[in-house]
């Protein structure tokens, strides 16, 4: 199929590459020239395992190219909208500027029978509005909504082998059949392998994505709320998670207590959901998401408080090593990162913060140049009075507590992701403080 992908951020760049890998002829379009230049040269403009190799392979095959010109979308019959929907400045709602302008810019190049597929995460009701725009300005084109569930760090895998496909289709039977056939063809490999396909109306498809992220955020905040109770009672939240996780109805995944969730999706998506529900007069239905958000943000302060406890109440001029800046391992993304937030809060209290991360230093420095960044983990630890592990990179989980003991000024580690072998660290003479653990 000839496919265009509008927006080449995490979502779009991976989607375009994966579609080319699956045999389609793809053009990725973005207004950011630097991004397009990097992608055209086979370099992902962000860290995503496996993407560089796939990009190189796909561009070499001649099936994948990138462009800053929307005119290059003409000739494609399937157009994916994969632009960002960030949180608006000064509010909770999603900013739909990029979605609206992408559709407006695409309209002149659409032909009758073309299918436009929204992948961006949008407030429920957006697709219906955009379908009206297409009906008025590009008659004969069809809108579908096909939310994306990819996780950073597993983006390629999640795109090529998704656990489910969701198609939000128009009411009109012919248009619906055309859109479904186009999506089935685009995803022929996954469909052929028996991946479940859920077809629905626009509103349901939009809500599937919002509901999934709200559920995941709630699950994490639930276990973090249990961590708060564990801290008041001497219980161990990781044992608790193991025990309740054996109940298949609950499940152990996404029950890791720690410094909480961040990234470009969960925080802004739950906020946008509350804003949209309030617009719909149903604010109370998802009011609990405000509590989910509040629990999540409290865990960041909890980590800072634990550092202060270890320093006798003041961080001023005290040396603190912060290991991890990305919002999760295998990512260089620092958007709403709990790790970076902890580093910034400690710096704000006057600490000499020595921060490091295997991939995210450049992005962190661009946002917070006031922090002292070091590349090597060992350099971060030199002379540290407290060490905080805030992103559970494999490199940090595998650190040797015996060797490191000699480098730090004081062998105290705050394990803000409950990712260390606490017994091994204690045996090496460290004080280990976890979250929600005695
Ligand atoms: C998420 C959704 O998983 C994905 O389906 C959606 O498309 C986009 O948002 P992502 O933001 O890449 O993906 O990260 P995810 O792996 O979901 O982790 C989100 C955050 O939750 C991270 O900060 C992670 O550290 C945290 N987390 C996750 C926990 O604190 N505890 C857990 O048990 C799991």
For residue 341 the two structure tokens come to 């937030």
CA 20 centroid distance within chain:
23
Residue nearest to atom 22 of ligand 1 (CA): 261
Look at residue 266 in the predicted model and tell me its pLDDT.
Answer: 97
HSE at residue 20, side-chain half, CA atoms within 13 A, is 26
Write the burial class of residue 14 (CB in 10 Å: 0-12 exposed, 13-18 middle, 19+ buried): buried
Q: How high is the mean pLDDT of the chain?
A: 97
Look at residue 248 in the predicted model and tell me its pLDDT.
Answer: 98
Look at residue 228 in the predicted model and tell me its pLDDT.
Answer: 98
- Note the pLDDT tens digit of each residue in 106-125: 999 999 999 999 999 999 99
Q: Calculate how far, in angstroms, residue 213's C-alpha sits from the geometric centre of ligand 1.
A: 9
Look at residue 188 in the predicted model and tell me its pLDDT.
Answer: 97
Q: Which whole number is the average pLDDT over 70-81?
A: 98
* Contact predicate 317/352, CB 8 Å: yes
Fold of 300-434: Rossmann fold (3.40.50)
Q: Which whole number is the average pLDDT over 415-422?
A: 98
Domain with CATH 1.10.1040.10 in the chain: 210-293
- Note the pLDDT tens digit of each residue in 272-314: 999 999 999 999 999 999 999 999 999 999 999 999 999 999 9
Q: DSSP string covering 71-98, please?
A: GGGBTBSEEEE----PBPTTSSSB--HH
For residue 277 the two structure tokens come to 């529900």
Look at residue 392 in the predicted model and tell me its pLDDT.
Answer: 98
Q: Calculate how far, in angstroms, residue 408's C-alpha sits from the geometric centre of ligand 1.
A: 32
Which is the CATH superfamily of the domain at 2-200?
A: NAD(P)-binding Rossmann-like Domain (3.40.50.720)
* Contact predicate 433/415, CB 8 Å: yes
Q: What percent of the chain has a predicted confidence (pLDDT) above 70?
A: 100
Where residue 40 falls among pLDDT bands split at 50, 70, 90?
very high
Residues facing residue 412 across a β-bridge: 431
Please give the positions annotated as active site: 265
If one residue of 215, 265, 341 were mutated to test the ligand 1 pocket, choosing by the most ligand atoms within 8 A of its CB, it would be 265
- Note the pLDDT tens digit of each residue in 216-226: 999 999 999 99
Look at residue 295 in the predicted model and tell me its pLDDT.
Answer: 98
Look at residue 268 in the predicted model and tell me its pLDDT.
Answer: 96
For residue 394 the two structure tokens come to 């494999």
* Contact predicate 353/347, CB 8 Å: yes
Write the burial class of residue 74 (CB in 10 Å: 0-12 exposed, 13-18 middle, 19+ buried): middle
Look at residue 343 in the predicted model and tell me its pLDDT.
Answer: 98
Sign of the four-CA dihedral 356, 360, 364, 366: positive
Is 320 near ligand 1, meaning CB less than 6 Å away?
no
Where residue 395 falls among pLDDT bands split at 50, 70, 90?
very high
Question: How much is the pTM?
Answer: 0.96
For residue 83 the two structure tokens come to 């632009």
* Of 226, 277, 285, the residue nearest 250 (C-alpha): 226
Look at residue 146 in the predicted model and tell me its pLDDT.
Answer: 98
Fold of 210-293: 1.10.1040
Where residue 318 falls among pLDDT bands split at 50, 70, 90?
very high
Where residue 402 falls among pLDDT bands split at 50, 70, 90?
very high
Look at residue 198 in the predicted model and tell me its pLDDT.
Answer: 98
Q: Calculate how far, in angstroms, residue 316's C-alpha sits from the geometric centre of ligand 1.
A: 33
Tell me the three-class secondary structure of 215-279, residue by residue: HHHHHHHHHHHHHHHHHHHCCCHHHHHHHHHCCCCCCCCCCCCCCCCCCCCHHHHHHHHHHHHHH
Helix residue spans in 360-409 (DSSP H): 361-367, 377-381, 394-397, 401-405
3-state helix, strand, coil split of the chain in percent (to 5) is 45, 15, 40
Is 346 near ligand 1, meaning CB less than 6 Å away?
no
Where residue 151 falls among pLDDT bands split at 50, 70, 90?
very high
- The H or E element containing residue 437 is none
Is 263 near ligand 1, meaning CB less than 6 Å away?
yes
Is 255 near ligand 1, meaning CB less than 6 Å away?
yes
Q: Indicate which atom in ligand 1 lies nearest the CA of residue 258.
A: 30
Q: Calculate how far, in angstroms, residue 230's C-alpha sits from the geometric centre of ligand 1.
A: 23
Look at residue 407 in the predicted model and tell me its pLDDT.
Answer: 96
- Note the pLDDT tens digit of each residue in 8-37: 999 999 999 999 999 999 999 999 999 999
For residue 96 the two structure tokens come to 């739909």
Domain with CATH 3.40.50.720 in the chain: 2-200, 300-434
Look at residue 119 in the predicted model and tell me its pLDDT.
Answer: 98
Residue nearest to atom 2 of ligand 1 (CA): 151
């Amino acid at each position: 199929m000839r496919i265009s992908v509008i927006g080449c951020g995490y979502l779009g760049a991976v989607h375009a590459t994966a579609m080319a890998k699956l045999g389609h002829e793809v053009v990725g379009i973005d207004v950011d020239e630097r991004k397009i230049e990097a992608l055209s040269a086979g370099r992902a403009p962000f860290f995503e395992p496996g993407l560089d190799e796939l990009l190189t392979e796909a561009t070499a095959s001649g099936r994948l190219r990138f462009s800053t010109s929307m005119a290059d979308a003409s000739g494609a019959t399937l157009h994916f909208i994969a632009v960002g929907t960030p949180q608006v400045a000064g509010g909770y709602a999603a900013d739909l500027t990029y979605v609206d302008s992408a559709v407006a810019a695409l309209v002149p190049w659409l032909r009758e029978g073309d299918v436009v597929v929204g992948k961006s995460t949008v407030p429920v009701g957006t697709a219906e509005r955009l379908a009206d725009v297409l009906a008025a300005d590009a008659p004969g084109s069809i809108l579908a909504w096909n939310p994306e569930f990819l996780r950073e760090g597993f983006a390629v895998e999640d795109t090529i082998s998704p656990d489910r496909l969701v198609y939000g289709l128009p009411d009109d039977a012919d248009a619906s059949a055309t859109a479904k056939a186009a999506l089935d063809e685009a995803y022929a490999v996954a469909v052929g392998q028996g991946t479940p396909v859920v077809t629905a109306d626009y509103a349901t498809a939009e809500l599937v994505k919002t509901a999934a992220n709200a559920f995941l955020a709630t699950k994490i905040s639930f276990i973090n709320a249990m961590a708060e109770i564990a801290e008041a009672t001497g219980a161990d939240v990781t044992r608790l998670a193991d025990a309740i996780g054996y109940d298949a109805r609950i499940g152990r995944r996404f029950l890791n207590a720690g410094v909480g969730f961040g990234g470009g999706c969960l925080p802004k998506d739950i906020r946008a959901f509350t804003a949209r529900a309030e617009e719909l007069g149903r604010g109370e239905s998802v009011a609990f998401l405000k509590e989910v958000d509040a629990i999540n943000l409290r865990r960041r302060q909890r980590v800072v408080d634990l550092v202060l406890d270890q320093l006798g109440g003041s961080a001023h001029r005290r040396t603190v090593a912060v290991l991890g800046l990305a919002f999760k391992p295998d990512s260089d993304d620092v958007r709403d990162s709990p790790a970076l937030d902890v580093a910034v809060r400690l710096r704000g209290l006057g600490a000499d913060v020595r921060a490091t991360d295997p991939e995210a230093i450049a992005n962190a420095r661009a946002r917070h140049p006031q922090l002292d960044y070091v590349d090597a983990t060992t350099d971060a630890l030199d002379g540290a009075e407290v060490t905080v592990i805030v992103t559970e990179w494999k490199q940090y989980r595998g650190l040797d507590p015996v060797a490191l003991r000699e480098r730090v000024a004081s062998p105290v580690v705050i394990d803000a992701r409950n990712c260390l072998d606490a017994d091994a660290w204690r045996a090496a003479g460290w004080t280990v403080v976890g979250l929600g653990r005695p």
